[in-house]
A = this chain, B = another copy of it.
């Protein structure tokens, strides 16, 4: 486990197993990939994964990448507060870097305020090439 997170104290066995698989992965994983990774631990059905993911997302330990239908462990401590996380997805190596920049979040909140839109959450996903892959 990296230094990014101490486990939420009340994770169940399934939640903990799913979190550890995501946290040990370089790249986002689909729910079915997680399922396959946990067959040895007794997982049999997609719902076992989806239910754990649902809780982990509520705890802020895991994010869903909408454009990939995949999931990543949060790379920020205490991420639950970050309503406006963003992700840069490398189309070559598949790695994702997460960011939470006030310079990006603020103008979005401002737009919402001007429009009278009550912001409940936001999703920002960038496609492109990461620094390591740009010279490839």
Contact = CB atoms under 8 A, between A and B. Distances in A.
Interface of A: 66-67, 86, 88, 90-91, 97, 99, 101, 103-104, 107-108, 110-112, 115-131, 134
A124 B111 CA distance: 13
Contacts of A120: 91, 127-129
Contacts of A117: 88, 90, 97, 126, 128-131, 134
Given A103-B111, A107-B103, A127 B121 contact: yes
20 contacts: A67-B123, A86-B108, A88-B112, A88-B115, A91-B120, A97-B115, A101-B111, A103-B110, A104-B111, A108-B124, A117-B126, A117-B129, A117-B134, A118-B128, A118-B134, A120-B128, A120-B129, A121-B128, A122-B127, A123-B125
Contacts of A123: 66-67, 123-127
Contacts of A130: 116-117
